[in-house]
Amino acid sequence: MGEIDEAFVQVPDHRPKLSTIEVDEIPVIDLSASETEKLAMEIGKAVEKVAKAFFHLPIEEKRKVKRDELNFTCYHDEEHTKNIRDWKEVFDMLIQEPTILPASPDPDDEELEATLTSGLRIPLSLETCLEYCRVVEKLAFRLLELISISLGLAANRLGELFKHQTGPLRLNYYPPCPFPELALGVGRHSDGGALTVLVQDDVGGLQIRSQSDGEWIPIKPILNAYIINIGDNLQVWSNDLYVSAEHRVVVNSQRERFSIPFFFFPSHYVTMKPLEELVNDKILMKYKEYNWGKYYVTQNGSNYKKLDAENVQIEDFKDPESV
Ligand code: OGA
Ligand code: NI
C-alpha cells in the first residue's frame, strides 16, 4: 500500500472517525413545482459525464490545463485547505463570461482584469457546463430572494449585488484513497461566497459540523436534491443571523466520488459589511468592511501551497468592539 505523502496528513484532532453517526436533521426544501430545478437536474447529469470523462484522462493531459498563481481557472490537483493538501482534483471555470476581478491582491492596485474560460483550449465541453450555470443561477437568485425576505428585506436586496458575479463552477473529483483515516478530500472550511449549490453523486463523504456539539454529521446523498451551503458573505451581510456552514469531505478507500459546487459570489466592487437595515444603536455591526474582489483574489493566491500563516478569513474582520 505504500506510505502517504505527509502533505495530506491531518493533525490528529481533524482526522475523520470512519464510523460516524447517522442523523436526519438536515432540512430538505421542496421547490419541485418549478421547471428550473427539473431542467437543472437533467443538465447536471450531463455535467457529471463531462467531469468523469475529463478526470479519467491521463494525468499528462490534465496537467496541460493546470492552473497557476496567475490563471485561477482550470485543473488543479494541489489545493490546500488550512495548509493541508486535499485528496482531490478540481476543474474550475467561471460562471460569468468574462468575469471581472482585481488584477492583484495589492490594496493600492486599482487595475481590473477580465477573464474568460471559453478562450482556452480545454478538453471538456464548456458549453454543457455553462448551460448548467445559466439554470442553476436562476435557482441561486431565487434562494437569495427567499433569504432576503426571511431577513425582512426587499426580495431583490441581495440579488442586486450579483450583477457581475465572480464565482466559479467547480468539478470536484475525489480518487479512492488508501488512507481515509489520515487524509480528507477537503479539509474543514466554510465557503467564502454567499451560497453554494452542490450536487453530489451517491458515494457520500460530505460532512457538516453541528453548531451545537461540534460533531461531524454526514450529509447523505438524496437523489435529485441539491445541497445548499450558506457561505461567509451571508454571515457578514446578516450580521450573524445566518451562519456559514463548516463542512469537510471524507474520502473512500474503494470508490471515486464526484461533486459539482456552483459558488455564488457577488460583484468584485461589493463592499462586504453587515446590511444597514439589520443594525442600529443596540445591534452593532459585527464585522468591519472589506472589498469582496480584493478578499477573494487574496484567498485565491494562497491556496496553492503549504504556508505558515492561515488564509484570510471573515474572522479577521470581526469587530472586537461589537462582542
Ligand atoms: C467544496 C466542497 C463538498 C463536496 O468544494 O468547497 O465543500 O461534497 N465540496 O465535494
Ligand atoms: Ni465547501
Give the contacts of 36 (CB within 8 A, at least 6 positions apart): 135, 138, 139, 142
Residue 144 lies in a domain: yes
Q: Which atom of ligand 1 lies nearest, measured to the CA of 170?
A: 5
Cell triple for 91? 476543474
Q: Which atom of ligand 1 lies nearest, measured to the CA of 196?
A: 6
How many Å lie between the centroid of ligand 2 and the Cα of residue 226? 14
Q: Is 199 in the pocket of ligand 1 (CB under 6 A)?
A: no
Q: Is 89 in the pocket of ligand 1 (CB under 6 A)?
A: no
Measured at the alpha carbon of residue 136, what is the angle toward residues 97 and 186, in degrees to the nearest 5? Answer: 90
Residue 98 lies in a domain: yes
Residue 47 lies in a domain: yes
How many Å lie between the centroid of ligand 2 and the Cα of residue 300? 14
Q: Is 232 in the pocket of ligand 1 (CB under 6 A)?
A: no
Q: Which atom of ligand 1 lies nearest, measured to the CA of 206?
A: 8
Ligand 1 atom 6 nearest Cα? 191
* Full-model pTM: 0.93
Question: For residue 179, what are the domain limits?
Answer: 6-322
How many Å lie between the centroid of ligand 1 and the Cα of residue 179? 19
Ligand 1 atom 10 nearest Cα? 259
The CATH number for 224's domain is: 2.60.120.330
Q: Which ligand is nearest to the CA of 303?
A: 1
Q: Which atom of ligand 1 lies nearest, measured to the CA of 174?
A: 10
Q: Which atom of ligand 1 lies nearest, measured to the CA of 219?
A: 8
| CB neighbour class for 266 (10 Å; exposed up to 12, middle 13-18, buried from 19) | buried
How many Å lie between the centroid of ligand 1 and the Cα of residue 168? 13
Residue 78 lies in a domain: yes
pLDDT score of 32 = 66
Residue 1 lies in a domain: no
Among 80, 217, 247, the mutation site with the greatest number of ligand 1 atoms within 8 A of its Cβ is 247
Among 249, 262, 265, the mutation site with the greatest number of ligand 1 atoms within 8 A of its Cβ is 249
Mean pLDDT for back-to-back runs of 10 residues, the chain (323 residues) = 88 83 72 74 92 97 86 89 94 96 93 90 94 95 96 98 98 97 96 96 95 91 92 98 96 97 98 97 95 92 55 85 71
> Structurally, how many domains does the chain consist of?
1
Among 82, 186, 202, the mutation site with the greatest number of ligand 1 atoms within 8 A of its Cβ is 186
Residue 313 lies in a domain: yes
Residue 119 lies in a domain: yes
Q: Which atom of ligand 1 lies nearest, measured to the CA of 205?
A: 8
Residue 240 lies in a domain: yes
